[in-house]
Amino acid sequence: MQTELEELAAINRGADGSCCRLALTDADRRGRDLVVSWMRNAELDVNIDRIGNIIGTRAGTQSGPPVMTGSHIDTVATGGRYDGAYGVVAGIEVVRALNARKVLTKRPLAVVVFTNEEGVRFAPDMMGSLVYAGGLLLEDALQAVSEDGAVLGEELARIGYAGSKRCGEIRPHAFVELHIEQGPVLDRANEVLAVVQDLQGISWQEVNIRGVSNHAGTTPMNLRHDAAYGAGMVTVFVRKLAQRMGGSQVATIGSVRLVPNLVNVIAREAKLTVDLRNSDDAALSAAEQELEAFLVEIADAEGLIIETKRLVRTQPVRFDDRILETIEQVAAKLGHGEIRRMTSGAGHDAQMMARICPAAMIFVPSVNGISHNPKEFTLPRHLEDGANVLLHAMKRIANE
C-alpha cells in the first residue's frame, strides 16, 4: 500500500510535498492510469462509466450485485497523500490478498474510484458518487463549468475517461468506504479504528448585513448602525448556540468581509458565512430557526438590514446498522476490542452510495487531525489495520 500511495503522491507533487490532482486535469489522468494498471494487475475487470467513475470487479462464485469498496483519488490544490487515495489503494490490496490466498467470495467484489469528490474544480463535490446514486442527472454533471472555463464532459473525454457504462448500472449489494478520519478524535484518544455511523447534515448560509458608514470619531455610539458589530454579534451567537445545544452541533463563521474595511470608518456592510452542522436533522433545523430569530432581533435593535441566502442544505445520513455491526464484529475478532462509533464531520462518497445500498465507513486516525494539507499523515500500521478490517468485513458481507 505504501508504494502505491507514494506513486500517487509523486504525481505533480508541490515543493512542500503537497498533492495537486484536481479532478479531470492531466495530473488526475496520470493518477487514474496508475490505478487502472493496479486494478488490471490484480485481475479486476475494469469498466469506466459515463461520469468517469472507474469500477474494477472481481467475480464471485455466484453472480449478482458485488460488495463494493473504494473512494476517490482527486485532491484539493494542496492536498495530502491519504485522503481518498487510501480507500482506493486499500480496496485493491484487499483483492490482492484474496488472490494470493486463492480465496473466492460468494458474491462478487468491486473497487471503485469516484470522479470529482473534492468539488474544487467543478461543483458539486461528491459528483461521481452522486450521479452513480441517481441524485444528479448525468447530463447536468457533464455540463458543469470550472472557474477556468473548462466543461466537465469535454475534460472527461480529453483525459480519456468518458466511459460508456451506464452510471449506477452495477448496483452494489453493500458499500464500505475506508478513509482517514481527517479530524483529531482517534489520534487524541489513541485509538486505531472507528466505524462511522452517520454524517452530519450541513447548512450553509450567507448573511448580508447592511448598516450606515460614518466617521469613527464623531458618531456617538448610540447613533451607529454598525454592520461590523452585527457580524460580531452573529459570530458570538452561533458559538454559544452550538455550545448550548451540545450533541454533534457545530457552528463556524468562516468568512467575513467588511465594506469599506477601513480603520476609521464604521462598516456599512458585512457579508459573512454561517456553517451549521448536526447529525440530527430536527436539531439542525432548530439551530437555523434560532439564528433566524436572532438576526431579526439584532436588525431591529441596531437599525440594520439583514438578508440571508441559503448556499447549501444537506440532510444527515445514517449508515446501515447491519454493516456497522459486521465491521465492529470483524474489528473485535482481529483484536481491536470494542471500536468507537463516530459521526463524520466531512462529506464522503459513502453518503451518496447509502441512497442505493446498505453502506458504512471505517476510519483510521489522522495524526494531529490534519488533512487537506501536505502534513496529512497516518501511521503505516494503522493503514494496515484499517485495510485488514476492510478485507474481513468485505469477505464476511460477500459470503453471507
Q: Which is nearer to Zn ion, 60 or 84 (CB)?
A: 84
Q: Are residues 367 and 378 in contact, defined by beta-carbon separation less than 8 angstroms?
A: yes
Q: Which is nearer to Zn ion, 126 or 397 (CB)?
A: 126
Cell of 271: 457579508
Binding-site ranges for Zn ion (CB under 5 A):
83-84
Least distance between Zn ion and beta carbon 150 (Å): 22
Q: Using the minimum distance from each CB to Zn ion, give the nearer residue, 181 or 191.
A: 181
Helix H or strand E segment including 194: strand 194-199
Give the DSSP letter string of 99-116.
Answer: HHTT---SS-EEEEEES-
Q: What minimum distance in Å lies between the beta carbon of 300 and Zn ion? A: 43
Q: CB of residue 8 vs Zn ion: minimum separation in angstroms?
A: 13
Residues 6+ apart with CB under 8 A from 304: 209, 210, 211, 225, 227, 230, 298
Decide whether 127 or 162 has the Cβ nearer to Zn ion.
127
Which of 174/350 has CB closer to Zn ion? 350
User: How far apart (Å, rounded) are the C-alpha atoms in residues 138 and 134?
Assistant: 8
Nearest distance from C-beta of residue 297 to Zn ion, angstroms: 39
CB of 95 to Zn ion, least distance (A): 21
CA 281 to chain centre: 18
The CB-nearest residue to Zn ion is 84
Query: Nearer Cβ to Zn ion, position 125 or 385?
Result: 125
230: which residues sit within 8 A by CB, 6+ positions away? 209, 211, 270, 298, 299, 302, 304, 306
* Shortest Å distance, C-beta 346 to Zn ion: 7
Residue with Cβ nearer Zn ion (84 or 153): 84
Q: State in angstroms the smallest separation of the CB of 179 from Zn ion.
A: 6
Note the Cα 5 to chain centre separation in Å: 19
Contact 227, 211 (CB under 8 A): yes
194-199 vs 340-344, strand pairing mode: parallel
Cis peptide before 66 (omega within 30 of 0): no
Residues 308, 313, 316, 317: what is their CA dihedral angle, to the nearest 10 degrees? -170
Nearer to Zn ion, 120 or 209 (CB): 120
Neighbours of 376 (CB within 10 A): 24
Of residues 181 and 226, the one with the C-beta less far from Zn ion:
181
How many CB atoms are located within 10 Å of the residue 216 CB?
A: 13
75 vs 203, which CB is nearer to Zn ion?
A: 75
In the complex, least distance from residue 122 CB atom to Zn ion, rounded to whole angstroms: 16
CB of 55 to Zn ion, least distance (A): 18
Q: Which is nearer to Zn ion, 84 or 183 (CB)?
A: 84
Provide long-range contacts, Cβ within 8 A and 24+ apart, for 308-314.
308/205, 308/206, 308/207, 308/208, 309/205, 309/206, 309/208, 310/203, 310/204, 310/205, 311/204, 311/205, 311/206, 311/273, 312/202, 312/203, 312/204, 313/201, 313/202, 313/203, 313/204, 314/201, 314/202, 314/347
Q: How far is the CB of 117 from Zn ion (least distance, A)?
A: 6
- Examine residue 260 and say whether the peptide bond preceding it is cis (omega within 30 degrees of 0): yes
Q: Which burial class, exposed, middle or buried, applies to 30 when counting CB atoms under 10 A from its CB (0-12, 13-18, 19+)? A: middle
Contact status, residue 92 vs residue 42, Cβ threshold 8 Å: yes
Closest separation in Å from C-beta 120 to Zn ion: 12
